Amino acid sequence: MKLNKTVRQLSLFAAIAFGTTLPTGCKVEIQSRAEDVHLQVWTMWNGQEEKNILAVFARYHELHPNIFIENHGGLLDDTKTIRAIVANVPPDLCTLTDPLVLGPLAANNALLPLDDLLNTETYKESDFVPASLKQCRFKGRLYAMPYLIDCTALFWNKKLFKEAGLDPERPPSTMEELQQYAKKLTKVENNEIAILGLQPLTDVMPILCVFGGRLTDPSEKNVTVNSEKMTEGMSWYLETVKAMGGYEKVNAFSSGFGQAQSANNPFFVGKVAMMVSGEWIPFWTTKYSSNLDYGVAALPPPANHPERTGTTWLGGNMFAIPRASKHVKEAKEILIWMQSEEAQTLLAKLNNNVPNQLSVLGSPELRQGEPYKKKFSVFLDLAKSKNAEYFPAIPVSGLLNGELLNARDVVLNLEKSPKQALNDTQARVQRELGRYP
Amino acid sequence: MIRPTKNSVTTRRDLLAGYGFISPWLIGFLILTLYPICASLYYSFCDYRVLSPPHWVGLRNYTELFTDKDYFLPSLWNTMFMFLELPIALALSVGIALLLNQKLKGMVFFRTLCYLPSVVPTVASAILWLWLLNPEYGLVNATLKMLHIPTTSWLQSPIWAKPAFIILDLWAVGGGIVIYLAALQGVPQHLYEAADLDGAGPWRKTWNITLPAISPVIFFNAILGIIATFQYFTQTFLLTNGGPANSTLFYALFLYQNAFQYFRMGYASAMAWVLFAITALATVIVFKSSARLVYYEGGDN
């Protein structure tokens, strides 16, 4: 019968296909040795940065030839990791692309506590930039390990300062002055913005924390979004945007901005005179805008709070071990190695991020050499600041961040007063937080 | 005559074979569609954070949803606003289909031209429109300026963002046109011939013959449009993410945020069921109210 013939042919084909795959499968088995460990690591980096982290892993393999790190890069969506955790097939080690997922993951017992990595002979708590560890703690326990951090500071375009009649060598010394500068530097032509004094903030916390605003109380059981200081900060931002032409105009102008990591970065092309950004900018200028004459310094304190001098908003790369990781011991060993001077300096040089080990912040290798490193050093110093603030890991951090950004928009669009908007945010986030034990 | 027993055996065998052949779909449907639907109904009565097992909270998610004046109602209102698009899209696609149905030389070219935008994937066309509507460099504002018409900041303006989405969607109206065109070709010629004999003009013929004849297709497209509007998501997720100031926070986007960004899967499930109820209700209303306007050949009216 015709059908039977087809079936026979198909099974013959299947047998051949199966037979040919067998030898290759065995080959891998033969090569692999008993002491070899293949570690599944999921990381967020892509492009050049992925190559950089691969170089770091390659170095680790050189030091530990039996550890094979299988990197799955470009993980831009943490829900993929979360799904793998829920399905009980997580990676052995992973980065948290959005640090805001640490709280929910830790609160739901999905990650392994890492407290035993500290207070050993190798590393003590006091070796770390304090905020870099604090942002990895949930209810006092450590659930992630930092491997390099980010800090924010104020950048200003010296040429545009000169054109506006400002001293190009002196950044604003108070937040009040920063607001005046933002207004003065904003240039309007034919009723349209041509240059914006201060680039609008994608994240408002770097500004709010300068006013002393904090997202939670020290117990991290209560959010404090509607505190006086937060309101003061939000009002400052509202007035600044108003001074530059108002929400809609500023928004419309910003929509024409090019990508940050390109030669079209609005700061590089002189479309914005000042911006709040991070430690990667000095290196980027060498790539995209080598003639740019600019300065960088910490955001100034408000006039009546000089103690807020040197405030910076700290974030960074977090590595975590899912509870169901199959190679806990090896994963922990990598995390410890990442704190070594060699590993910290290696990635800091490749990615131009700030080390989270205090002892490495002074490293001449990071501070000397190419001209841009002088400006990069500003961030190395800022990391040590006692006013380095961070996003606390709470179970509802995603909601808190979303609500806060929404409050910003509603305030700028003049739908609610800063006080009202932050009160509403407080009520909603606190209600949700109260549901966690 | 075939004996009853033999008949039933054959029938049963056919039945089994039939189920056997559709079993890949059937199993997929049961596991990947029916089970999640049922589970989401259960979750909607739970506090469920994905990473830990759900626990029962009764109607809390629903009461919270209906008392949320900052997000639930605005997101529903934003979604309702998009219904303005339906009559415009309908008039536009029927109108263009009528024009494309003329027997003129080179019509194939124009038909292709009208359908072309629908071939472009939603994501690509959304990104394209992001540039066209750019307040600074966009072609739309440049053209308006040339004509001395006041410009706006479109997707960056809380007032104009939703109309901008409507414009963006109307661009891809070609999908509807093709369906109407097919319907128009099916209108019986003898009706037109009879009308010609009675001395009817083109308007009369369109109004009294063409539109009633294609009314089932219009109705079908309207129902699909209603459902699609309630699920409006991709464009806003890509271009505005709900902004500026929540003016494009559509219901489905708010649902997504709760489920996948805030880990409030119970709340999001409740939202989904409320959306299902609203969509079903709207569809029933449309069915009840417009069924008598729809003409079916061979039907009673």
Note the pLDDT tens digit of each residue in B73-110: 999 999 999 999 999 999 999 999 999 998 888 888 99
Q: Cβ of B191: how many Cβ atoms within 10 Å?
A: 15
Would you call A251 and B153 a contact, using CB atoms and an 8 Å cutoff?
yes
Hey, is the C-beta of A86 within 8 angstroms of any chain B C-beta? yes
Q: What is the pLDDT of residue A252?
A: 86
pLDDT surpassing 70 at residue B244 = yes
Q: What is the dihedral of CA B239, B245, B248, B249, to 10 degrees?
A: 110
Domain presence at residue B129: no
Count CB-CB contacts under 10 A for residue A202: 12
Q: What CATH number does the domain containing B114 carry? A: 1.10.3720.10
Question: What pLDDT, on the 0 to 100 scale, is given for residue B91?
Answer: 93
Task: Name the amino acid, one letter, at A159.
Answer: K
The answer to whether residue B103 is domain-embedded is yes
Residue B44 is classified by DSSP as T
Range of the domain at B232: 72-122+170-293
CB A346 within 8 A of CB A56: yes
| Final residue before a domain boundary, out of B49, B66, B83 | B66
Q: Which long-range contacts (CB under 8 A, 24 or more apart) does A221-230 make?
A: A221/A433, A222/A430, A222/A433, A223/A394, A223/A400, A223/A426, A223/A429, A223/A430, A223/A433, A224/A426, A225/A400, A225/A403, A225/A404, A225/A407, A225/A422, A225/A425, A225/A426, A225/A429, A226/A419, A226/A422, A226/A423, A226/A425, A226/A426, A230/A422
Closest-CA distance, A156 to chain B, in angstroms, reads 23
Q: How far is residue B8 from each of residues B4, B15, B22, measured CA to CA in Å?
A: 6, 10, 21
Q: Which A residues 362-401 touch B at CB under 8 Å?
A: 395-396, 398-399
Q: What is the pLDDT of residue A28?
A: 45
Integer Cα distance of A335 and A39 in angstroms:
13
Query: Which of A86, A252, A396 is opposite residue B50, by nearest beta carbon?
Result: A86
- B231 and B116 in a common domain: yes
A194 pLDDT higher than 70: yes
SS (H, E, C) A303-355: CCCHHHCCEEECEEEEEECECCCCCHHHHHHHHHHCCCHHHHHHHHHHHCCEC
The answer to whether residue B98 is domain-embedded is: yes
Residue A195, C-beta contacts closer than 8 angstroms, at least 6 positions apart? A160, A185, A186, A187, A270, A271, A272, A273
What confidence score (pLDDT) does residue B9 get? 80
pLDDT at B1: 47
| Other beta carbons within 10 Å of A48 | 10
Same domain, B46 and B79: no
Does residue B235 lie within any of the structural domains?
Answer: yes
B86, B221: one domain: yes
Span A258-278, average pLDDT:
95
Per CATH, A37-150+315-378 and A152-313+396-433 having the same topology is answered: yes
Q: How far is CA A210 from the centre of its chain?
A: 18
Contacts of A418 (CB under 8 A, 6+ apart): A231, A234, A235, A238, A411
pLDDT band at B296 (very low <50, low <70, confident <90, very high): confident
Check residue B2 and give its pLDDT. 47
pLDDT value at residue A192: 86
Q: Interior CA angle at A249 toward A243 and A254, to 5°?
A: 105
Among all residues of chain B, which has the CA nearest to that of A86?
Answer: B51
The total of other beta-carbon atoms located within 10 Å of residue B46's CB is 20
**What's the confidence (pLDDT) of residue A27?**
42
Backbone phi, psi, residue A310, to 5°: 80, 25
B256 within a domain of the structure (yes/no): yes
Distance CA B220, CA B216 (A): 6
Q: Tell if the CB–CB gap between B244 and A410 is shorter than 8 Å.
A: no
How many Cβ atoms are within 10 Å of A266's Cβ, its own excluded? 21
Q: Which residues are CB-contacts of B173 (< 8 A; sequence separation ≥ 6)?
A: B89, B92, B93, B96, B117, B118
Q: What is the pLDDT of residues A366-408, one digit of tens each?
A: 999 999 999 999 999 999 999 999 999 999 999 999 999 999 9
C-alpha B14/C-alpha B222 separation (Å) is: 39
Reported confidence tier of residue A437, pLDDT bands at 50, 70, 90: confident
As a whole number, mean pLDDT of residues A216-225 equals 94
CB < 8 Å to A102, chain B: none
Q: Is residue B94 part of a domain?
A: yes
CA dist., res. B16 & res. B8, Å (int): 12
CA atoms within 13 A on the CB side of A124: 4
How do beta strands A315-320 and A145-150 pair?
A: antiparallel
For residue B263 the two structure tokens come to 């880990």
Q: What is the mean pLDDT of residues A71-100?
A: 92
pLDDT exceeds cutoff 90 at A210: yes
Q: Any idea which of A18-27, A70-79, A225-234 has the lowest mean pLDDT?
A: A18-27
Q: Are residues B102 and B230 in the same domain?
A: yes
pLDDT the model gives residue A11 = 52
A105-142 residue pLDDT tens: 999 889 999 999 987 788 998 999 999 999 999 999 99
DSSP one-letter string for A242-289: HHTT-HHHHHHHHTT---SSSTT-TTTTTSEEEEEEETTHHHHHHHH-
In this structure, what token pair is assigned to residue A314? 């700290």
Report, as an integer, the average pLDDT of B46-72.
Answer: 91
Mean pLDDT of chain B: 90
Q: Give the best residue of A102, A255, A425 to mutate against chain B (max B CB count within 10 A).
A: A255
Domain finish residue from B66, B96, B113? B66
Complex ipTM more than 0.90, yes or no: no
Residue B21 lies in a domain: yes
Specify the pLDDT at position B151: 86
Q: For residue range A15-51, list pLDDT tens digits in order.
A: 444 444 444 444 444 566 888 999 999 999 999 999 9
Cβ of A191: how many Cβ atoms within 10 Å? 7
> Which residue's entry shows tokens 């011939």?
B193
Q: Do B59 and B183 sit in the same domain of this protein?
A: no
CA distance B64 to B264: 12
Looking at the structure, do residues B53 and B81 belong to the same domain, yes or no? Answer: no
Interface test with A, best of B43, B70, B248, B260 (most A CBs within 10 A): B70
Burial of A254 (0-12, 13-18, 19+ CB in 10 A): buried
Query: b vs e for A394-405, b when ≥16 Cβ sit within 10 Å of the residue's Cβ?
Result: bbbbbbbbbbbb
- Residue of A194 and B261 predicted with greater confidence: A194
- The fold adopted by the segment(s) A152-313+396-433 is D-Maltodextrin-Binding Protein; domain 2 (3.40.190)
SS3 A20: helix
- Per cent of chain A over pLDDT 70 is 93
Q: What is the DSSP letter of A209?
A: G
Residue B201 and residue B59 share a domain: no
Domain for residue B28, yes or no?
yes
Mutation target among A100, A190, A251 for the B interface, most CBs of B within 10 A: A251
Residues of B in contact with A109 (CB under 8 A): 51-52
10 Å Cβ neighbour count for A116? 10
Question: Could you say which residues from 417 to 436 on chain A have a Cβ atom under 8 Å away from some Cβ of chain B?
Answer: 424, 428, 432, 435
Separation between Cα atoms, residue B98 and residue A249, nearest integer Å: 42
Both B8 and B37 in one domain: the answer is yes
- Decide which of 3.40.50.740, 3.40.50.300, 3.40.190.10, 1.10.10.10 is the CATH code for A37-150+315-378: 3.40.190.10
Measured distance CA(A38)–CA(A193) in Å, rounded: 56
**Pairing mode, if any, of strands A37-42 and A93-95?**
parallel
Angle between helices A341-351 and A47-63 (to 10 degrees): 160
**Mean pLDDT, chain A, integer:** 91
C-alpha to C-alpha distance for A426 and A205, rounded to whole angstroms: 15
In a shared domain, residues B259 and B241: yes
| DSSP 8-state code for residue A362 | T
Residues B11, B13: Cα–Cα separation, whole Å: 5
Least confident span in A53-62, A353-362, B46-55: B46-55
Of A104, A110, A415, the CB nearest to B245: A415
Question: What are the residue ranges spanned by the domains of chain A?
Answer: 37-150+315-378, 152-313+396-433
Q: What are phi and psi of A142, to 5 degrees?
A: -90, 125
User: What is the rounded distance in angstroms from the CA atom of residue A96 to the CA atom of residue A117?
Assistant: 19
pLDDT of residue B301 exceeding 50, the answer is no
**Does residue B8 sit in the same domain as residue B117?**
no
Q: Predicted confidence band at B3 (pLDDT cuts at 50, 70, 90)?
A: low
How many domains is chain B built from?
A: 2
Q: Beta strands A37-42 and A312-313: pairing type?
A: unpaired
Separation in Å, CA A309 to CA A130, A303, A387, B131, B210:
17, 10, 8, 41, 76
As a whole number, mean pLDDT of residues B45-50 equals 92
Do A53 and A43 form a contact (C-beta atoms < 8 A)? yes
